[in-house]
Structure 1
Amino acid sequence: MDTTEIAVLTGGIVLIALVLWYFLGERQAVAATDTGGVQEVDITVHGGYSPSVVTVRQGRPVRLNFFRDETSSCSEQVILGDFGIARDLPAHQTTAVEFTPDRAGEFTWTCGMNMLRGKLIVQPA
C-alpha cells in the first residue's frame, strides 16, 4: 500500500465516522424555564426526534412541544409510558405534552410503533 492509498483509506474512515455521528448521534437539550416556572423544550419530529435527549428537573412542570414535520405514519403518536402519556401528533403542527416528573431517572419516549426513541433525563430536585 502506498501513501496515496493510505490517505484515501484514512479519509474514507473519517468521513464514515462523521456521517454516522451526524445521523445517529444524540442531540441533547436542557429545558429552559419560562417565567411561570415551566421547563419547556421544542422537539422536531422528522425521521426521529431532535433533540433526542432532554434534561429537566424533578418536581417542576415540563412542557415538551413536539412539532411533527412529516407525514410518516410511524410518527403519528408519541408515548411517554413511564408517565402514562400518549398523544397524537398531527402533521405539520405543534402538540404540547405537559406533565410534572415526580421521580428522578432516565425515561424513554417512543413513537406509536416503538421505532423512534427519545430520552428524558430527570435530575433530582
Structure 2
Amino acid sequence: MGLFKRKQSKTIVVDKGYEPSEVHFKQGKEAELTFKVKTDNTCLQKVVIKDLGLEKDLFNDPDKTIQIPTDKRGEIPFACGMDMFHGKIVID
C-alpha cells in the first residue's frame, strides 16, 4: 500500500531565474520542492512563498527542500527576495 502513497518530488534550478518557473503536483499526495542553487546572484538569495508564510535563504543551503501542502487545488506563487524573479506551484 505504501507504493501508492509515494511522495512527489520536483527540483527547480536557481540560476538566471527559476527553471522551470512552474511545477505541478497532484492534489492530496505528499510533495516536496527542492531549490538547487547554481548562481551567486544576490537577488536570488531568498525565495519567498507568501501564501505558505515562507522566506528561505537559499545561499545557506544550496539544496533547500520545502514541503508543499497539496490539500487544496490552486496556484501558489513564489518570488525572489527582491520580487524580480517569479514562479508558481500548481496543485492539480
Name which of 99, 105, 119 aligns with 2:68.
Answer: 99
Bigger Rg, which one: 1
Higher relative contact order, structure no. (Cα contacts within 8 Å, ≥ 6 residues apart) = 2
Which segments of 5 or more consecutive residues in structure 2 lack a partner in the other structure? none
Contact persistence 1:42–1:65 (CA under 8 A) = yes
Note closer, same or farther for the CA distance 1:106–1:90 as it changes in structure 2 (3 Å cut).
same
Q: TM-score, normalised by structure 1?
A: 0.64
Note closer, same or farther for the CA distance 1:71–1:92 as it changes in structure 2 (3 Å cut).
farther
Could you tell me which amino acid in structure 1 is paired with residue 8 of structure 2?
Q
RMSD after superposition: 2.0
1:63 aligned onto 2:63: no
Count of aligned positions = 90
Identity %: 30
Which segments of 5 or more consecutive residues in structure 1 lack a partner in the other structure? 1-33
Which consecutive segments of 4 or more residues in structure 1 shift more than 3 A? none
Compare the two structures and name the one with the higher strand fraction. Answer: 2
Q: TM-score, normalised by structure 2?
A: 0.85
Instruction: Specify the SS of the correspondent of 1:119.
Output: strand
